[in-house]
A and B are shown apart, each in its own frame.
Chain A
Amino acid sequence: MANETILMLPLYLIGFFSLAAVGLDPLFSKNKKVIYYLSLIGLLEAAISAGYALYLHTLTPAPNIEISYAKNMVSTGGMAYFFDILFCLSGILILLSSPRYFTREYKELSEFYSLILLSVSGMMIMAHSANLLVLFIGIEIMSLSFYILAGFIRIRIMSVEAALKYFLLGAFSTGFLVYGIAMIYGATGTLTLSVIQLSIQTNTINSLYLTIGIGLIIIGLSFKAAIFPFHQWAPDVYHGSPTVIAGFLSAAGKAAAMMAFIIIARAIFGGLSQNNFVKDLYVDVRLVLAVLSAATMLIGNITALVQKNIKRMLAYSSVAHAGYLLMGVVAANERGWSGILFYSTAYILMQIGAFIVISLSERNDEQNLKISEYRGFSKAHPYLAAIMSIFMFSLAGLPPFAGFFGKYYLFTAAVETGYVWLTIVAVISSLISMYFYIGLIIKMYFEDPDTQPMVAESGHAVLALTLSTAGVMIFGIFPSLLMDIAKIFF
């Protein structure tokens, strides 16, 4: 039993600290720093305990097997701990960069820290779900926190409008998701993922309900991950919400939605089924996902080409990255899953890093957000420009940065499983994306500034930038560090 406590400790800790941050908020209304440091400590402790549990889990004889606790509600798999650490890391990066940003743009409110913790706890509950009910609760805790975060600067019309759009479409997609879950329940008679897998293997299912359920869940999760044709909200929301939060929504939120894809896909199509209907369905679902993935990356990258606003450009490029991540789900083999893990890590580091750089150069109310205003950025801020270039190279997928190896693993996974056409589309859309990523670098380095140099006061954001740059470089030069860990979970 002591063992169980240690294995569940990350969830206990993040839950405790997120509630503590909410509860202690009124006591420390004068000194915002108390809640700030409390939240940082909470995220760090959760990450460390998840790391320890991950270490314990790799020692077990079969680390790819997930063990369920609490009456098959909560699972403790290696993937869950991996994503725990990832979500805590993204929360830490955002926390480090936010106080100065909010003091500058609006005012520092300690609710922000508790909301970040709450959304991270929602994502971690998703990661540990062994039951569709738990998965749904996790998604909703995450999404509700996201809606509030998007509209956090409530005196600014853009922020509120982003929150309204995000809320209406998010709640709409929740309807589809939960209808899909109800249909899966109707098909199999259970909400426990392992039992669903068992009943699909033993062919005690209603195939009509299963098909409808899978379709609705794909729609619901595609909304959350901003996958074509449900990506329309993403650019508006990421553009309107405060910059650091846009980084959080687009990176961590997307990784969490992809993780939900992995969990559900492994549960439904995990075991080799004797059922011919399910086998056919599997082929069809993968084809649909492949088409969605191809369309997502093309639409995302092509629309990003013509953007004038840097946040909007990164928002469209984040749509494209959701397409790349979806390739791993299409491949649905060991390499595909671990490729998603690797790419999520790289993507969280580079996307949040890029948004932090933008948040540093942004000035009150939409100043310095046009791409043309980045002309000659390197003259005024050589370090920031260098870091931004690293993130852009990594997002474009150039070696030796982490983004390259993430793409490499996902592309080879798709080729291995016979989706050569999808890989060709992905390579073409990567080439298209070079234009705007490299274009920004050219603007920063080879053009003369026509505005006054921007002043950036960084505070703790320097730490966040150092962390993410170091991560992008290290995982780019030594990808096996991460890949060797990611491989053993599947």
Chain B
Amino acid sequence: MNEIPQGYYLLLAGVLFTIGTIGVLTRRNAIIIFMSIELMLNSVNLTLVAFSSFFGDSSGQIFVFFVMAIAAAEAAVGLAIVLALFRLKKTIYVDEANILKY
């Protein structure tokens, strides 16, 4: 069976990253924005694993574990902040959080 070329993994990761970026920029629900950010981080993980297996070097895969751990920590902090916002404003739409402006 033929091996999948490295470029395909990177292309897939790039596409996922772009989808995540577009999601962050266009969505207004804080949870969906956060999910898009997670998608971006996961595409980075895919990139790292692809490079890691390409080089036969384990440090990329170890990096992935740290990215996953940090994404989990980020989720804990982020959801707590969203919850705090919901308690005060009864909304999680970021365009309704608009007290701070010029």
Q: Interface of A with B (CB < 8 Å)?
A: 133, 136-137, 140, 144, 147-148, 151, 154-155, 157-158, 160-165, 167-168, 171-172, 174-175, 178-179, 181-183, 185-186, 189-191, 235-236, 239-240, 312
What are 27 of the A-B contact pairs (CB < 8 Å)? Answer: A136-B63, A136-B67, A147-B81, A148-B77, A148-B80, A151-B84, A157-B99, A158-B100, A161-B97, A162-B100, A164-B81, A165-B94, A168-B94, A171-B37, A172-B24, A174-B37, A178-B41, A179-B40, A179-B47, A182-B51, A182-B63, A185-B48, A189-B51, A189-B55, A190-B59, A239-B100, A240-B100
A397 to chain B, nearest CB (A): 26
- Quick check: B57 and A189 within 8 Å, CB to CB? yes
Contacts of A154 in B (CB 8 A): 84
Contacts of A133 in B (CB 8 A): 59, 62-63, 66
Contacting B48 at CB < 8 Å: which of A160, A172, A182, A235?
Answer: A182
Looking across the interface, which residue of chain B has its beta carbon closest to that of A307?
A: B102
A144 to B60, CA, bound (A): 23
- Quick check: B60 and A178 within 8 Å, CB to CB? no
Contacts of A168 in B (CB 8 A): 24, 30, 33-34, 37, 78, 94
How many residues on B have C-beta within 8 angstroms of the other chain's C-beta atoms? 43
A165 to B96, CA, bound (A): 12
A5 to B23, CA, bound (A): 47
- Quick check: A161 and B77 within 8 Å, CB to CB? no
A153 to B80, CA, bound (A): 13
Q: Interface of B with A (CB < 8 Å)?
A: 10, 17, 20-21, 24, 30, 33-34, 37, 40-41, 43-44, 47-48, 51, 54-55, 57, 59-60, 62-63, 66-67, 70, 73-74, 77-78, 80-82, 84-85, 88-89, 94, 97, 99-102
Q: Which secondary structure dominates chain B's binding surface?
A: helix
A462 to B61, CA, bound (A): 50
- Quick check: A183 and B47 within 8 Å, CB to CB? yes
- Quick check: A178 and B44 within 8 Å, CB to CB? yes
A181 to B47, CA, bound (A): 10
Instruction: Say yes or no: A185-B51 contact (C-beta < 8 A), given A157-B89, A160-B81.
Output: yes
Q: Which secondary structure dominates chain A's binding surface?
A: helix
- Quick check: A137 and B34 within 8 Å, CB to CB? no
Instruction: Say yes or no: A158-B47 contact (C-beta < 8 A), given A137-B70, A147-B81.
Output: no
Instruction: Say yes or no: A151-B81 contact (C-beta < 8 A), given A168-B34, A168-B94, A189-B57.
Output: yes
Looking across the interface, which residue of chain A has its beta carbon closest to that of B79?
A: A167
A19 to B17, CA, bound (A): 35
- Quick check: B17 and A175 within 8 Å, CB to CB? yes
Contacting B73 at CB < 8 Å: which of A140, A182, A190, A312?
Answer: A140
- Quick check: A161 and B85 within 8 Å, CB to CB? yes
Contacts of B34 in A (CB 8 A): 168, 171
A240 to B85, CA, bound (A): 13
A183 to B94, CA, bound (A): 31
